[in-house]
Structure formats: structure tokens, C-alpha cells
Structure 1
Amino acid sequence: MSHLPAAALPTTGTVLIVDDHELVGSSLALALRHEGLPAGFRPAHSVVDVRRAVASVDPGLLVLDLDLGRDADGRRIDSVPLIPALRAQGWRVLVLSGSSNAVRVGAALHHGAFTWVSKTASMPALVAAIREALEGRSLLPVSRRDELVARYLEWDRRERGVRDRLATLTRREREVLDLLAAGVRAQAIAEHFVVSLPTVRTQVRAVLAKLDVGSQLEAVAMVRSVEPGDDTPGGIAYGVR
């Protein structure tokens, strides 16, 4: 992804905080207003909430929570896929996150976030980081930013390779692999598909050969590595490019 030049980023005194934790968001907005900075807070528990929050506000500095809670199926709602579009709308995005996962933070930075601040930082530190971001400066050292982005890109490169190999499986082979990953034994898989056990074993051998692994455990680990989870960054699993 190409990054917009610094000159294309907005310089404005307006701060919009979008977070699924109302206490965090409202407290931060209050602290910023106490410092003389015009700041507003909008709670968001979904992608739609974020889009609604920014729809009626002139673009400025957006303090965006990396995690927006869980959806109805219990899956984490990740804000990383929203960052490119927000940048295109003119927002400068400061990612606020309780997660210290370097790969996830690197994903946000790579996809257009201006800077990142941990939610574990003190309130004065958060206010200082936001004040600097308003002026087009980041308190995140360039070397640390580069390291975080590099960690994400390495993860991305590995995951692309895994997905390419998984894409070589037939539909039935992938179904067999998914059942193995769910802990289902070969005999139960045979009964599920109403086929013989030797047929399932042949399919498993085909899976191992196509994935270039030596055991079912390795194959299962491979498929689990690309399943969205708490340590999965925005990117491949979420369609950000």
C-alpha cells in the first residue's frame, strides 16, 4: 500500500475519539477539552458505528480503537480494514489499543495509521501524543515504527504462502482438513462423508503432500495459523490490501 505524503494529511484542531469503551473514550475527550483542545467522543461497537461516527464530522484527527469488541458470533471486530478508507476521506488516524501485539499494531501502521499509542499509557501521555499528532508529529520513534511494520510484513508474507498452499486443496480435501483441525478423527470423518476409512486416509495423504508437511499435526497447525483470532492482525484474513 502506498502512503500519502505528510503534506496531504489534515492539520486541524478537532479530535474525534471512537472507542467501544465509553469510560475510556469519554474520559479522554474530557481530558483533552480540559487542555483546551476541541474533542468529541462517539461510542462504536461495529464497523457501521465507525462510519456513522465520522459521517457528519469534518475530517481531523481520529483516535480510533484497534479493537471494537466482539460481533454476535464472538469474533473480534478489528478496525484495521477501515483505515485506508478513513485516510482517503482526509482523516489522520491515531490508533489506540490495549493490545501489545506487535504484528497487529504494525498492520495498522502499514495500512495508513499515522501513529499508535497504547491504552496502558498514562492520561498525560495520551494527551501529549494526541497534541503532537494534531501538529503532524508522532511520539513513536521512526525506528520502532519501521520495526512494527516489518514484523507485520513478514507475517503477511508467511501467511500468503500458507494460503497459496491451502488453495491447492480440493473442496473435499479442505473439508477433511477442517474436520481434523476441529479434532474429528479419521473414522468419524469417514462416517460423516459416508465413505470408507481408506478413502479418508488417501485424502489425508493428498492433503499432506499438497501442503508439503510430514504430519497431520503440521497440517492442522498450518490451517489454524490463518484463522482469525485474538493475535491475528488486520490484513489477509480481513481483506485489507
Structure 2
Amino acid sequence: MPPTPQSAPQAAPGTAAEPAPPRGAPRATGGRITILLVEDHDMVAEAIRLALDRTEDLRVVGRSLSVAEALAEAARLRPAVVVLDRRLPDGDGIAAIAPLRAAAPGARILVLTGEATPAVAARVAEAGGSGLILKAGNLTELQDGVRLVAAGEVAFSKGLLGGALDRLTGRTAGLGATLTPRERETLGLLGDGLGTAEISRRLGVALNTARNHVQRVLEKLGARSQLEAVAVARREGLLR
């Protein structure tokens, strides 16, 4: 990775010298995706940190050992992604998703767990989490998961996504305003499992425009994530 020019030195995250980003926005660090790691086991945390930091586009900017520490650090560091252990000394990681999103509104939450079921994956999605990765998987899966959620996509370990969708389909939630033809097209592409970048290419629109279409779909379906939007749409007969 090329060295940072001396004319524009990077200040440590959270210091007074660092330019303040827009209110609620994640802090940028040399173009890398900033990560807050919430893991109370030292060996596991160190292995994860090394795996993420050795890439050119990811950087762990802080580590917390508990929910309480994570809330304070998320507000201070404003990371792009919080990699969150499911079981922490002072509480359940999934229950901490909503408070973490309130503390750092721009952050995406990726939960790590030793074992999980589709019901657990559905809980993560309902709480506003962006993904659930099994610790039994490889570190490349975690790296890719961080990139996906940072880009506004969802990342669930194999075998959990379909079951989570089935569970979420049973929720009671009404549709919002009628979807426009372009929003229905966007929803169909979400239902095919496409991410925002691919939707942009398929629709022939700019990436930001595609993101806006996806966001409006979520709002009109009363969904907090792309996963939940697809589940609601299936229940309402908007997708087959």
C-alpha cells in the first residue's frame, strides 16, 4: 500500500486533529473500511484483527470487550462496520444491535457466532443487523462479509439465509405506499439475490441512484434490511 503523503498525514481515529465527518457518518481512514471489533477473547480477537488488517481495504480501528465498551467506542470512532460477537460478558450481542446503531447511525453490524440457526439469523435481521457469520468458517468469509455489509448488502453464512427468510416471511407488517415500476424492478433484482452494484449495472443507472431505489423499496415495505424487504415482498405476493 503506498505511503501517505507527508503533506496530508493521517491522524489517529478519534483525535482532535482528525477532520470531523458529517454528523452520524462513519469516519474514513485512508480509503479503508473502518471496523470496530467487539470480542472478549484475546486470541480470537487477535486472529480476527490480523486477518482484517492484512488486507488493503480493511482496518480495525478499535476493540471492545463488552456491550458497554462497544457503545462508547462506536459513538467515538464511528466505524463503517461493527464486527460483533454474539455472546459477551455483559449481554447478548444481538440485543445490542439496536443500541449500537443508535450510537453510530452510519455503522453496519456484522454478528459473529460459534453456532447459529435460521431463527438466530432472523433475530439478527429483525434487530437491524446486516449479517451473521459463523466462527467455524474461514477468515476470507469474514473479510468478504465485512466488505458486503459496508457496501449496504447482507452477509449470512451458507444455510442461514433461506431459513431466515422463511422466518421473516411470517411477520405481520403492512406495505407502505405503492411501489413504482422502477422500484418493483429493483425489488425483483433484490429477490434474485443481487447486490446494489449489480442492480446498478442491470438497471443502467449510477450506483447512488440504485442505492436510492433500494432505500425507497425498504421504506415502502417497512423493512430495515434488504433481507427483510425480500421476505415481506414474498409474503405479500410481490415476489414468487
TM-score between the two structures when normalised by the length of structure 2: 0.50
Q: Which has the larger radius of gyration?
A: 1
TM-score between the two structures when normalised by the length of structure 1: 0.50
